[in-house]
Homo-oligomer: A and B are copies of this chain.
Amino acid sequence: MNFASDNASPAHPSVIEALATANEGYAMPYGADPTMERVRTKIRDLFEAPEAAVYLVPTGTSANALALACYCPPWAAIFCHRNAHIEEDECGAPEFYTNGAKLTLVDGEDARMTPEALDAAIAFTGRGGIHNVQRGMVSITNSTENGAVYTPEMVGALSGVAKEYGLPVHMDGARFANALVAAEASPAEMTWKAGIDVLSFGGTKNGLMGVEAVVLFDPEKAWEFEMRRKRAGHLFSKHRYLAAQMDAYLSDDLWRAMARDANASARRLSEGILEIPGASLLHPTEANAVFAAWPRDGHRRAQENGAHYYLWPMNQSLEGPGDEMLAARLVCSWSTTAEDIDRFLDLIRG
Protein backbone atom coordinates (compact mmCIF):
# COMPACT_ATOMS: atom_id res chain seq x y z
CA MET A 1 0.00 0.00 0.00
CA ASN A 2 2.28 2.73 -1.25
CA PHE A 3 0.58 5.95 -2.30
CA ALA A 4 3.48 8.21 -1.39
CA SER A 5 4.30 9.16 -4.95
CA ASP A 6 4.27 7.74 -8.44
CA ASN A 7 8.04 7.93 -8.27
CA ALA A 8 8.12 5.26 -5.58
CA SER A 9 6.70 2.74 -8.02
CA PRO A 10 8.80 0.39 -10.14
CA ALA A 11 9.35 0.58 -13.85
CA HIS A 12 7.21 -1.57 -16.08
CA PRO A 13 8.86 -4.97 -16.73
CA SER A 14 8.94 -4.32 -20.46
CA VAL A 15 11.23 -1.38 -19.79
CA ILE A 16 13.78 -3.65 -18.17
CA GLU A 17 13.46 -6.04 -21.06
CA ALA A 18 14.09 -3.22 -23.47
CA LEU A 19 17.23 -2.27 -21.62
CA ALA A 20 18.50 -5.83 -21.81
CA THR A 21 17.84 -5.85 -25.53
CA ALA A 22 19.50 -2.49 -26.03
CA ASN A 23 22.56 -3.76 -24.25
CA GLU A 24 23.73 -5.94 -27.12
CA GLY A 25 27.00 -4.92 -28.69
CA TYR A 26 28.30 -1.47 -29.54
CA ALA A 27 26.17 1.58 -30.21
CA MET A 28 26.98 5.10 -31.30
CA PRO A 29 26.89 7.38 -28.26
CA TYR A 30 25.15 10.69 -27.59
CA GLY A 31 21.88 9.86 -29.31
CA ALA A 32 23.27 8.80 -32.65
CA ASP A 33 22.01 5.23 -32.19
CA PRO A 34 19.17 3.72 -34.24
CA THR A 35 16.85 3.37 -31.24
CA MET A 36 16.86 7.11 -30.77
CA GLU A 37 16.10 7.56 -34.45
CA ARG A 38 13.09 5.32 -33.97
CA VAL A 39 11.96 7.15 -30.85
CA ARG A 40 12.17 10.48 -32.64
CA THR A 41 9.97 9.19 -35.42
CA LYS A 42 7.47 7.68 -33.02
CA ILE A 43 7.10 10.92 -31.08
CA ARG A 44 6.76 12.98 -34.23
CA ASP A 45 4.09 10.61 -35.49
CA LEU A 46 2.30 10.52 -32.19
CA PHE A 47 2.14 14.29 -32.01
CA GLU A 48 1.47 14.74 -35.74
CA ALA A 49 4.48 17.02 -35.73
CA PRO A 50 6.90 15.91 -38.42
CA GLU A 51 9.24 18.86 -37.87
CA ALA A 52 9.43 18.69 -34.11
CA ALA A 53 12.80 18.45 -32.41
CA VAL A 54 12.82 15.65 -29.85
CA TYR A 55 15.32 15.14 -27.03
CA LEU A 56 15.63 12.85 -24.06
CA VAL A 57 16.77 13.85 -20.60
CA PRO A 58 16.78 11.87 -17.38
CA THR A 59 14.59 13.91 -15.04
CA GLY A 60 11.53 16.10 -15.04
CA THR A 61 13.44 18.99 -13.55
CA SER A 62 16.02 18.91 -16.32
CA ALA A 63 13.29 18.70 -18.95
CA ASN A 64 11.46 21.70 -17.56
CA ALA A 65 14.48 23.84 -16.81
CA LEU A 66 16.08 23.26 -20.20
CA ALA A 67 12.83 23.92 -22.02
CA LEU A 68 12.25 27.15 -20.12
CA ALA A 69 15.81 28.35 -20.64
CA CYS A 70 15.43 28.06 -24.41
CA TYR A 71 12.37 30.30 -24.49
CA CYS A 72 12.77 32.80 -21.67
CA PRO A 73 15.60 35.35 -21.44
CA PRO A 74 17.20 36.00 -18.05
CA TRP A 75 15.45 39.35 -17.66
CA ALA A 76 11.91 38.06 -18.07
CA ALA A 77 9.15 36.39 -16.10
CA ILE A 78 7.81 32.87 -16.36
CA PHE A 79 4.13 32.88 -15.46
CA CYS A 80 3.04 29.72 -13.68
CA HIS A 81 0.67 28.60 -11.00
CA ARG A 82 1.63 29.31 -7.42
CA ASN A 83 1.81 25.56 -6.76
CA ALA A 84 3.58 24.56 -9.95
CA HIS A 85 6.32 21.98 -9.66
CA ILE A 86 8.77 24.45 -11.22
CA GLU A 87 8.00 26.87 -8.39
CA GLU A 88 7.76 24.53 -5.45
CA ASP A 89 9.76 21.40 -6.13
CA GLU A 90 12.77 22.12 -8.25
CA CYS A 91 14.91 24.05 -5.80
CA GLY A 92 15.29 26.93 -8.19
CA ALA A 93 16.27 24.94 -11.28
CA PRO A 94 14.40 27.29 -13.64
CA GLU A 95 16.24 30.25 -12.15
CA PHE A 96 19.56 28.43 -12.46
CA TYR A 97 19.07 27.33 -16.05
CA THR A 98 17.64 30.64 -17.26
CA ASN A 99 20.34 32.59 -15.40
CA GLY A 100 17.83 34.32 -13.21
CA ALA A 101 14.41 34.61 -14.81
CA LYS A 102 11.66 35.34 -12.33
CA LEU A 103 8.76 33.00 -11.64
CA THR A 104 5.65 35.12 -11.36
CA LEU A 105 2.87 33.29 -9.60
CA VAL A 106 -0.71 32.98 -10.78
CA ASP A 107 -3.64 31.75 -8.74
CA GLY A 108 -6.45 29.34 -9.50
CA GLU A 109 -8.32 26.46 -7.89
CA ASP A 110 -6.85 22.96 -7.97
CA ALA A 111 -3.50 24.36 -9.11
CA ARG A 112 -5.12 25.34 -12.41
CA MET A 113 -4.48 28.88 -13.59
CA THR A 114 -7.47 30.80 -14.83
CA PRO A 115 -7.14 32.86 -18.01
CA GLU A 116 -8.22 35.95 -16.07
CA ALA A 117 -5.58 35.54 -13.40
CA LEU A 118 -2.94 34.84 -16.02
CA ASP A 119 -3.92 37.90 -18.00
CA ALA A 120 -3.77 40.10 -14.92
CA ALA A 121 -0.32 38.80 -13.96
CA ILE A 122 1.09 39.37 -17.42
CA ALA A 123 -0.43 42.82 -17.74
CA PHE A 124 0.95 43.85 -14.34
CA THR A 125 4.46 42.62 -15.11
CA GLY A 126 4.83 44.59 -18.26
CA ARG A 127 3.74 47.94 -16.93
CA GLY A 128 7.14 49.28 -15.82
CA GLY A 129 9.15 49.35 -19.03
CA ILE A 130 12.83 48.79 -18.54
CA HIS A 131 12.62 48.73 -14.74
CA ASN A 132 10.53 45.56 -14.47
CA VAL A 133 11.50 42.18 -15.66
CA GLN A 134 9.88 41.66 -19.02
CA ARG A 135 7.05 39.35 -19.98
CA GLY A 136 8.71 36.06 -20.80
CA MET A 137 6.65 32.92 -21.17
CA VAL A 138 3.87 30.83 -19.67
CA SER A 139 4.23 27.37 -18.13
CA ILE A 140 1.23 25.09 -17.64
CA THR A 141 1.42 21.89 -15.59
CA ASN A 142 -0.86 19.12 -16.86
CA SER A 143 -2.07 17.28 -14.88
CA THR A 144 -1.62 19.78 -12.08
CA GLU A 145 0.10 19.34 -8.75
CA ASN A 146 -3.36 18.93 -7.26
CA GLY A 147 -4.41 16.17 -9.60
CA ALA A 148 -6.60 18.30 -11.82
CA VAL A 149 -6.57 18.18 -15.60
CA TYR A 150 -6.60 20.97 -18.14
CA THR A 151 -8.67 20.02 -21.16
CA PRO A 152 -7.40 21.11 -24.56
CA GLU A 153 -9.94 23.92 -24.42
CA MET A 154 -8.56 25.15 -21.10
CA VAL A 155 -5.03 24.93 -22.45
CA GLY A 156 -6.11 26.85 -25.51
CA ALA A 157 -7.64 29.57 -23.40
CA LEU A 158 -4.40 30.08 -21.48
CA SER A 159 -2.31 29.93 -24.62
CA GLY A 160 -4.65 32.44 -26.15
CA VAL A 161 -3.85 34.89 -23.39
CA ALA A 162 -0.14 34.20 -23.82
CA LYS A 163 -0.28 34.70 -27.57
CA GLU A 164 -2.00 38.06 -27.17
CA TYR A 165 1.21 39.17 -25.51
CA GLY A 166 3.39 37.27 -27.95
CA LEU A 167 4.61 34.82 -25.34
CA PRO A 168 5.61 31.20 -25.88
CA VAL A 169 3.97 28.48 -23.82
CA HIS A 170 5.52 25.47 -22.10
CA MET A 171 3.67 22.46 -20.80
CA ASP A 172 5.14 20.59 -17.85
CA GLY A 173 3.83 17.15 -18.71
CA ALA A 174 5.50 15.11 -16.01
CA ARG A 175 2.05 13.52 -15.84
CA PHE A 176 1.10 14.27 -19.44
CA ALA A 177 -0.18 10.77 -20.05
CA ASN A 178 -2.52 10.93 -17.06
CA ALA A 179 -3.92 14.24 -18.27
CA LEU A 180 -4.27 13.06 -21.83
CA VAL A 181 -6.22 9.90 -21.15
CA ALA A 182 -8.37 11.77 -18.64
CA ALA A 183 -9.21 14.42 -21.21
CA GLU A 184 -9.64 11.83 -23.96
CA ALA A 185 -7.62 14.06 -26.24
CA SER A 186 -4.97 13.35 -28.81
CA PRO A 187 -1.37 14.41 -28.11
CA ALA A 188 -1.63 17.06 -30.83
CA GLU A 189 -4.89 18.44 -29.51
CA MET A 190 -3.43 18.76 -26.05
CA THR A 191 -0.26 20.49 -27.22
CA TRP A 192 0.56 22.38 -30.39
CA LYS A 193 -3.03 22.55 -31.57
CA ALA A 194 -3.80 24.22 -28.26
CA GLY A 195 -0.88 26.62 -28.53
CA ILE A 196 1.91 24.75 -26.73
CA ASP A 197 5.39 25.52 -28.06
CA VAL A 198 7.44 23.12 -25.99
CA LEU A 199 6.47 20.07 -23.96
CA SER A 200 8.11 18.15 -21.17
CA PHE A 201 6.74 14.72 -22.01
CA GLY A 202 7.05 12.69 -18.86
CA GLY A 203 7.95 9.04 -18.58
CA THR A 204 9.50 8.60 -15.15
CA LYS A 205 6.37 8.97 -13.06
CA ASN A 206 4.44 6.78 -15.47
CA GLY A 207 6.42 3.58 -15.50
CA LEU A 208 9.92 4.36 -16.74
CA MET A 209 13.13 4.30 -14.73
CA GLY A 210 14.11 7.84 -15.56
CA VAL A 211 13.44 9.42 -18.94
CA GLU A 212 11.55 12.47 -20.12
CA ALA A 213 11.29 13.71 -23.67
CA VAL A 214 11.39 17.37 -24.53
CA VAL A 215 9.43 18.14 -27.68
CA LEU A 216 10.04 21.46 -29.40
CA PHE A 217 7.23 21.76 -31.90
CA ASP A 218 9.10 24.44 -33.79
CA PRO A 219 12.67 23.18 -34.23
CA GLU A 220 14.13 26.69 -34.35
CA LYS A 221 15.57 26.33 -30.84
CA ALA A 222 16.88 22.81 -31.39
CA TRP A 223 20.55 23.68 -31.49
CA GLU A 224 20.28 25.90 -28.46
CA PHE A 225 18.57 23.07 -26.63
CA GLU A 226 21.41 20.72 -27.52
CA MET A 227 23.99 23.20 -26.26
CA ARG A 228 22.16 23.74 -23.00
CA ARG A 229 21.62 20.03 -22.47
CA LYS A 230 25.26 19.17 -23.07
CA ARG A 231 26.51 22.01 -20.92
CA ALA A 232 24.24 20.93 -18.08
CA GLY A 233 25.60 17.38 -18.13
CA HIS A 234 22.30 15.97 -19.33
CA LEU A 235 23.51 14.55 -22.62
CA PHE A 236 24.07 10.87 -21.93
CA SER A 237 27.04 9.22 -23.59
CA LYS A 238 25.39 5.81 -23.48
CA HIS A 239 22.23 7.41 -24.69
CA ARG A 240 20.79 4.14 -25.97
CA TYR A 241 19.54 3.33 -22.49
CA LEU A 242 17.36 6.42 -22.44
CA ALA A 243 16.11 5.72 -25.93
CA ALA A 244 15.32 2.10 -25.13
CA GLN A 245 13.11 3.09 -22.22
CA MET A 246 11.18 5.60 -24.28
CA ASP A 247 10.91 3.11 -27.13
CA ALA A 248 9.28 0.57 -24.85
CA TYR A 249 7.04 3.27 -23.43
CA LEU A 250 5.68 4.15 -26.84
CA SER A 251 5.28 0.55 -27.99
CA ASP A 252 1.81 -0.99 -28.02
CA ASP A 253 0.44 2.15 -26.43
CA LEU A 254 1.99 1.07 -23.14
CA TRP A 255 2.28 4.67 -21.94
CA ARG A 256 -1.43 5.34 -22.22
CA ALA A 257 -2.36 1.96 -20.81
CA MET A 258 -0.29 2.65 -17.71
CA ALA A 259 -1.81 6.09 -17.29
CA ARG A 260 -5.31 4.70 -17.65
CA ASP A 261 -4.58 2.13 -14.96
CA ALA A 262 -3.20 4.77 -12.63
CA ASN A 263 -6.16 7.08 -13.18
CA ALA A 264 -8.63 4.25 -12.67
CA SER A 265 -6.92 3.35 -9.41
CA ALA A 266 -7.21 6.93 -8.24
CA ARG A 267 -10.89 6.99 -9.05
CA ARG A 268 -11.48 3.73 -7.18
CA LEU A 269 -9.60 5.12 -4.21
CA SER A 270 -11.40 8.43 -4.32
CA GLU A 271 -14.83 6.88 -4.54
CA GLY A 272 -14.06 4.52 -1.70
CA ILE A 273 -12.90 7.32 0.55
CA LEU A 274 -16.01 9.36 -0.12
CA GLU A 275 -18.10 6.57 1.29
CA ILE A 276 -16.62 7.32 4.70
CA PRO A 277 -18.92 9.60 6.70
CA GLY A 278 -17.47 13.09 6.81
CA ALA A 279 -14.84 12.39 4.19
CA SER A 280 -14.32 14.94 1.45
CA LEU A 281 -12.09 15.77 -1.47
CA LEU A 282 -9.79 18.79 -1.41
CA HIS A 283 -9.53 18.69 -5.18
CA PRO A 284 -11.45 16.75 -7.79
CA THR A 285 -9.86 13.42 -8.69
CA GLU A 286 -9.22 13.86 -12.38
CA ALA A 287 -5.92 12.08 -12.91
CA ASN A 288 -3.86 9.74 -10.73
CA ALA A 289 -3.76 11.68 -7.46
CA VAL A 290 -6.34 11.88 -4.71
CA PHE A 291 -6.45 14.74 -2.23
CA ALA A 292 -8.94 13.80 0.44
CA ALA A 293 -9.74 14.18 4.11
CA TRP A 294 -11.04 11.50 6.41
CA PRO A 295 -11.01 10.90 10.16
CA ARG A 296 -7.72 10.72 12.00
CA ASP A 297 -8.51 7.27 13.31
CA GLY A 298 -8.52 5.95 9.79
CA HIS A 299 -5.11 7.49 9.13
CA ARG A 300 -3.75 5.91 12.26
CA ARG A 301 -4.98 2.47 11.31
CA ALA A 302 -3.62 2.75 7.80
CA GLN A 303 -0.19 3.94 8.81
CA GLU A 304 0.12 1.41 11.60
CA ASN A 305 -0.58 -1.28 9.03
CA GLY A 306 2.09 -0.14 6.65
CA ALA A 307 0.37 2.25 4.30
CA HIS A 308 2.70 4.89 2.87
CA TYR A 309 1.42 8.32 1.89
CA TYR A 310 1.78 11.95 2.90
CA LEU A 311 -0.53 13.98 5.08
CA TRP A 312 -1.25 17.17 3.16
CA PRO A 313 -0.03 19.55 4.41
CA MET A 314 2.67 17.42 5.94
CA ASN A 315 2.74 19.14 9.29
CA GLN A 316 -0.54 17.65 10.53
CA SER A 317 -0.32 15.28 13.45
CA LEU A 318 -1.67 11.78 13.92
CA GLU A 319 -2.07 12.61 17.59
CA GLY A 320 -5.44 14.04 18.57
CA PRO A 321 -9.17 13.39 18.45
CA GLY A 322 -9.91 10.35 16.31
CA ASP A 323 -12.86 11.85 14.52
CA GLU A 324 -11.10 15.00 13.36
CA MET A 325 -10.61 15.18 9.63
CA LEU A 326 -7.04 15.04 8.37
CA ALA A 327 -6.18 15.58 4.74
CA ALA A 328 -3.81 13.48 2.70
CA ARG A 329 -2.36 13.11 -0.76
CA LEU A 330 -2.53 9.65 -2.33
CA VAL A 331 -0.84 9.02 -5.64
CA CYS A 332 -1.49 5.98 -7.81
CA SER A 333 0.67 4.55 -10.54
CA TRP A 334 0.46 1.80 -13.15
CA SER A 335 1.55 -0.65 -10.44
CA THR A 336 -1.17 0.17 -7.95
CA THR A 337 -3.42 -2.85 -7.50
CA ALA A 338 -7.10 -3.10 -6.72
CA GLU A 339 -6.14 -5.32 -3.80
CA ASP A 340 -3.95 -2.66 -2.28
CA ILE A 341 -6.64 -0.05 -2.73
CA ASP A 342 -9.33 -2.19 -1.18
CA ARG A 343 -7.14 -3.19 1.73
CA PHE A 344 -6.33 0.46 2.28
CA LEU A 345 -9.99 1.44 2.15
CA ASP A 346 -10.83 -1.26 4.66
CA LEU A 347 -8.22 0.13 7.01
CA ILE A 348 -9.27 3.74 6.84
CA ARG A 349 -12.94 2.89 7.10
CA GLY A 350 -12.22 1.00 10.30
Contact = CB atoms under 8 A, between A and B. Distances in A.
A232 B230 contact: no
B20 A16 contact: yes
17 contacts: A11-B23, A59-B233, A59-B234, A60-B237, A75-B92, A90-B230, A91-B133, A92-B101, A92-B133, A95-B95, A96-B99, A96-B100, A99-B99, A102-B103, A127-B315, A210-B237, A233-B234
Interface of A: 2, 4-5, 7-11, 13, 16, 19-20, 23-30, 57-66, 73-76, 88-93, 95-96, 98-103, 127-128, 130-134, 204-205, 209-210, 224, 226-228, 230-238, 241, 308, 313-315, 335
Identify which of A16, A26, A128, A131 gathers the most chain B CB atoms within 10 Å of its CB. A26
Nearest to A98: B100
B93 A231 contact: yes
B75 A209 contact: no
B92 A130 contact: no
Contacts of A100: 92, 95-96, 98-100, 231
A62 B59 CA distance: 13
B7 A29 contact: yes
Contacts of A89: 128, 131-132
Nearest to A94: B100
Contacts of A236: 58-59, 210
A96 B231 contact: yes
A221 to B, nearest CB: 12
Contacts of A74: 92, 95-96, 99, 231
Given A91-B134, A96-B231, A127-B313, 4 more contacts: A8-B27, A204-B237, A204-B238, A232-B232
A131 B23 contact: no
Contacts of A13: 23
A129 to B, nearest CB: 9
B102 A62 contact: no
A61 to B, nearest CB: 4
Contacts of A227: 73, 75, 91, 130, 134
A63 B236 CA distance: 12
A205 to B, nearest CB: 8
Contacts of A92: 74-76, 100-102, 133, 231
Nearest to A22: B10
